[in-house]
Chain A
């Protein structure tokens, strides 16, 4: 309930904030998607084989999207996210950010990983948030510190700025990782099952917080999950990937589904549709 109120409250400011984030105006954003994945085939090498993870996957992410990649394990959704982050080079096809083909990792696409060890243990919470700003030479030390503290305040973390990561719980570590990513104001925020290792209650809370942050900040989000419910709650667009090799099964709008509509008929119907699309070829248990 409080989330719903907060959403309505900040809705007016959201569009303003979003302009601060993206210098490109909205009309050109329609022409050039923020992120274009074009016929991308990804392979990885084992000792004996070259294995195809995804096959000719195409989709566009528009500015301000909460775009979810959904599929069973082994469909290559995490591999796809790593390719967008620049850690892998596509065997075929291209990935373009703002119309420019990406080459290697870069601070314009910040990744929030699932693993808790993504925070260097030798840096305090504040230093962790400052780290990408300094490493990428985006800001000077003073400005980075200020940006870090502001961002930590936004995720409700101001009090713990000087704590070391090993003293934090899993959920808190993920909050720091999200703050660190947001502080960079990336062109697209990449999240690779960021809540999968959390307990159910914390996960629900983190989903609410992420949505509230999106309302405030209006970032562009690409989110990978294997949970249909999480996809519906987080996303406004969902891309369904088939199991091995990952191919696009469908792309659905699900902006109407939220934490508060989980019991509604429309949301349930969409869950059914997604379930059928993902699992229709499997033998019923």
Chain B
């Protein structure tokens, strides 16, 4: 037992005790200034960045002094105002957005369905990974001629290429998210008798939500790019063109300020969706649950 004897040689140190005087609780907590708390808001910080970018644009445009090549921020704002006031721009935006949302929703749904199927068996997983590695690198716009052949001039062709651009990127993300769900959490869910769709809905989807949301964001960006590009190539059908068509038309007529106004609208919609919709969803879910910072 001497191995377990932990006593060392004789220690001459004595036990010591300290009385702790009470602390003034008010000193432990000091209020932060209004400025600091304002700077904590990401809205404020991002607004400052946007204002600085616009100022830089204005300065460069004034130095260049060539409205045909680079209209200034003020000229673009005025073109934007006229476009909105006449209702043309709003009609274009609503035409684009309605196609975009249909394609995006269908693509997201198909991605979720495909990855859900891939959860259960190896062969379905192989099917998913093979399909994604085949089609994901294929630029959506390269399918447009084929889409026109199959579906003709119209919304269906646009939706087809949109689904293609959204589906594979999202499927890769969702699949990666599902595979990253911890074994403990999986076992906990199965322990309570969860199987099949209920298992996916109650365990895998919430546990993989950070990856799902990343997939949605990427899908959204891909959808916008594809749509604008497709409209540039594809033009309008029966006078119902979208934003891409608006940009293309105005470029042909050398209304560069209108082209910029169209681009600004694309950017603004992107910023709004990212900062209002996606941010709110994240704040209410993954951030609240401590899954992401």
Residues of chain A touching chain B, judged by Cβ–Cβ distance below 8 Å, are 82, 85, 87, 104-107, 109-111, 113, 115, 117-118, 120-122, 131-132, 135-136, 164-167, 184
Chain A nearest CB from B132 CB (Å) reads 25
Q: A105-B193, A166-B289, A167-B290 are in contact. Are A120 and B206 (CB under 8 A)?
A: yes
* Interface size of B in residues (CB-CB distance below 8 Å): 22
With A106-B191, A120-B206, A164-B288 known, 5 other A-B pairs at CB within 8 A are A87-B187, A121-B289, A131-B192, A135-B189, A184-B192
Residue of B nearest to A106 (CB): B193
Q: Which residue of A lies closest to B288 (CB)?
A: A164
User: Which residue of chain B has the shortest Cβ distance to A186 in the bound complex?
Assistant: B191
Q: Which residue of chain B has its CB nearest to the CB of A113?
A: B184
Most chain A CB inside 10 Å of its own CB: which residue of B209, B285, B290, B291: B290
A115 pairs with B184, CB closer than 8 A = yes
- Chain B 153-193, CB-CB to A under 8 Å as 1, else 0, gives 00000000000000000000000000000101101111111
Q: Does B203 contact A (CB under 8 A)?
A: yes
Contact (Cβ within 8 A) B191 A117? no
Are the C-beta atoms of B193 and A136 separated by less than 8 Å? Answer: yes
Asked if B206 and A122 sit within 8 Å, CB to CB, the answer is: yes
Contact present for A105 and B290 (CB under 8 Å)? no
Q: Which residues of B contact A82 (CB under 8 A)?
A: 187
Cβ contacts under 8 Å, A106 to chain B: 191, 193
Cβ B182 vs Cβ A117 within 8 A? yes
Closest to B209 in A: A122
**What are 19 contact pairs spanning A and B, CB under 8 A?**
A82-B187, A85-B191, A105-B187, A109-B191, A110-B192, A111-B187, A117-B184, A120-B185, A121-B289, A122-B209, A122-B285, A122-B291, A135-B192, A135-B202, A164-B289, A164-B290, A166-B289, A166-B290, A184-B192
Residues of A within 8 A of B291 (CB): 121-122, 166
Residue of A nearest to B203 (CB): A120
Q: Which residues of B sit under 8 angstroms from A110, Cβ to Cβ?
A: 191-192
**Smallest CB-CB separation from A168: which chain B residue?**
B290
- Minimum CB–CB distance for B35 against chain A, Å: 29
User: For chains A and B in complex, what number of residue pairs have CB atoms within 8 angstroms?
Assistant: 67
Is B194 located at the chain interface by the 8 A CB criterion?
yes
By the criterion CB–CB under 8 Å, are A87 and B190 in contact?
Answer: yes
| Interface positions of B (Cβ within 8 A of A) | 182, 184-185, 187-194, 198, 202-203, 206-207, 209, 285, 288-291
Q: Are B192 and A132 in contact (CB under 8 A)?
A: yes
The answer for the CA separation of A184 and B191 in the assembled complex, in Å, is: 11
Q: How far is the CA of A118 from the CA of B203 in the complex (A)?
A: 11
Which residues of B lie under 8 Å from residue A87 when comparing CB positions? 187, 190
Give the distance in Å from the alpha carbon of A131 to the alpha carbon of B188 in the complex: 10
Per the bound structure, the CA–CA distance linking A122 and B198 in Å amounts to: 16
| Measured CA separation A47–B184 after assembly (Å) | 22
Whether B187 lies near A117 (C-beta < 8 A) is: no
Within 8 Å CB of B206, what residues of A? 120, 122
Closest Cβ of chain B to A108, distance in Å, is 9
Are the CB atoms of A118 and B188 closer together than 8 Å? Answer: yes
A107 and B193 CA atoms in complex are apart in Å by 6
CA A66 to CA B141, docked complex, whole Å? 66
Q: How far is the CB of A131 from chain B (nearest CB, A)?
A: 7
Q: Would you call A135 and B198 a contact (CB within 8 A)?
A: yes
Residue of B with least CB distance to A115: B184
Report the separation of the CA atoms of residues A109 and B192 in the bound assembly, to the nearest whole angstrom: 9
**A135: which B residues are within 8 A, CB to CB?**
189, 192-194, 198, 202
A87-B190 Cα distance, complex, nearest whole Å: 8
* Contact present for B188 and A111 (CB under 8 Å): yes
When chains A and B are docked, how far (Å) is the Cα of A104 from the Cα of B196? 14
Closest to A284 in B: B3
Contacting residues, chain A, for B288 (C-beta < 8 A): 164
Distance between Cα atoms of A135 and B187 in the complex (Å): 13
Bound state CA distance, A107 and B192, in angstroms? 5
Nearest Cβ distance between residue A196 and chain B, in whole angstroms?
A: 14
Nearest A residue (CB) for B194: A135
Residues of A within 8 A of B209 (CB): 122
